[in-house]
Structures are given as structure tokens and as C-alpha cells.
Amino acid sequence: MTGSAPQPLPSPEKPGEASGLTLTPAGEPPSLRADAARNRTRLLEAASQLMAGCGAAHLTMDAVATAAGVGKGTVFRRFGDRTGLLVALLDHREQQLQAAFLSGPAPLGPGAPPLERLHAFGPALVRHERDHHELILSSRTDPLRTYAVPANRLRVTHVTMLLRQAGVAGDAELLAHTLLGSIDSVLVHHLTVERGIPLERLDAAWHDLVTRLMTRPPSPA
């Protein structure tokens, strides 16, 4: 997830219009040759399989090269170093999540009312954060960078637009940050691993927060 300066949030969608949101860059030049793109994907798939068995803490460039059937130099040329590999792997997984909520099937993707999409987004993100906790922590070398990376900006923009479309009262962007903060990776890890709280309870809390945001106070007499 490459860093960038924060950009203004786009205007909320009108019914029937596309959002204009696109997948965020994955730290790789968009002009990769087809063979280079295939090689990169093969390396990331090998790294994913290895990480499933040994965890991110024990993932090495040597092991990825061996699993992918290439020389270690190929892995270093593609990703620079181990940190670059972890960031690229996280970006690869992040883009799969983005594809699901930007263009996948409803209710997470387009085609469902905004409120239904909001309710679906939280549980999907909770599971993403839970499944990639090690990768996410490995990439967070600068706490402030977390809020500037394109992937985070896209999440905030997406939730903000859904809140506006659903007619939420208040500052939609700040409310989006509040919602997303409730399912941050570190918090999800603490609650599910250290506290033993089931994912279903986190889902219920997300649904409760969304419902409360959408409940407008009574109009003054």
C-alpha cells in the first residue's frame, strides 16, 4: 500500500450513478509486461501459501523463491526486500477485498441499497483484518502512514459515500472514520484472540452502530 497525500473525498453518488471509485494502486507500476505480471502473481501466491503454514514472521525471501521455482535474486528484484514483499502481499489481498465491495455481488457490492451495503461491509472487513493481522502489523512501520495510504482512503471514501446515500445525519466523513476505527486490525486481534470474543459479536456491534447512526433524532416541535 503506497503512501499519498490525502485527497478530498468525492461527491456522493446520485441514485443509479456509478461511484467513480477504483481499485487502489498496489505499489507496482501499471505498465508491467504480461510475463512480469504473471511472475509477480506466482510469487505472491507462493508467499500466500507459505504464510498460511508458517505465518508472516517466518516468511523468508529464500522460501518464496524455492516455492515459486525461481532464483532468490528474482524475488529481490521484484519486491526489493522482505518488507516490500509483505507490503505487496497485503496489497494483493487488499485489492481482492476492494474488488468485492466495488464491483462484486450485492449486498457487499453494487446493486443493494446503501444501508444494506453498510451492514455487509463491516463483517467483510472484520474477517479481512482478522485473516491478515500479521501482514497488516508488518506493514505498519509508521502509525501516521496508516491513514494516508490509498487503501485506507478508499475505505473511508466508500463508507462516507454510503452514509451520505443512506441519509445519515451529521459529518459523514468523521462518522466513517469512527465506524472503521471500531474494526481496526489491532482492535479486532485484541478482541478475538486476547479476549476470545467471537466474530459474530463483532458483527452484531457493527450492525448496532450502523443502525444507531441511521436513527434520526425526533424533529423539534
Name the range with the highest mean pLDDT among 63-77, 134-148, 195-209.
Answer: 195-209
Rg of the Cα atoms in the chain = 19
Q: What is the pLDDT of residues 4-21, one digit of tens each?
A: 333 344 443 433 334 556
What pLDDT, on the 0 to 100 scale, is given for residue 197?
95
pLDDT of residue 31: 53
3-state SS class at 136: helix
Residue with cell 479481512: 128
What percent of the chain lies above the pLDDT cut of 90?
Answer: 43
The domains found in the chain, sorted by start residue, are 36-80 (1.10.10), 82-214 (1.10.357)
Exposed/middle/buried for 188, CB within 10 Å: 0-12, 13-18, 19+? Answer: buried
Read off the pLDDT of each residue in 119-125 and give the average, rounded to a whole number: 96
Confidence of residue 83 (pLDDT cuts 50, 70, 90): confident
Distance CA 93, CA 44 (A): 10
Task: Give me the percent of the chain exceeding a pLDDT of 70.
Answer: 80
Residue that wins the pLDDT comparison between 202 and 150: 202
Closest alpha carbon to 59 in 25, 86, 35:
86
Q: Rounded to an integer, what distance in angstroms lies between the CA atom of residue 13 and that of residue 20?
A: 9
Which H or E element spans position 59? none
Residues 90, 139 contacting (CB under 8 angstroms): yes
Lowest-confidence range among 51-55, 153-157, 175-179? 51-55
- 21, 157 in Cβ contact below 8 A? yes
Return the C-alpha cell found at 117.
451495503
Q: Give me the chain's average pLDDT, please.
A: 81
Measured distance between the N- and C-terminal CA atoms of the chain, rounded to whole angstroms: 50
The three state secondary structure string of 66-126 is: HHHCCCHHHHHHHHCCHHHHHHHHHHHHHHHHHHHHHHCCCCCCCCCCHHHHHHHHHHHHH
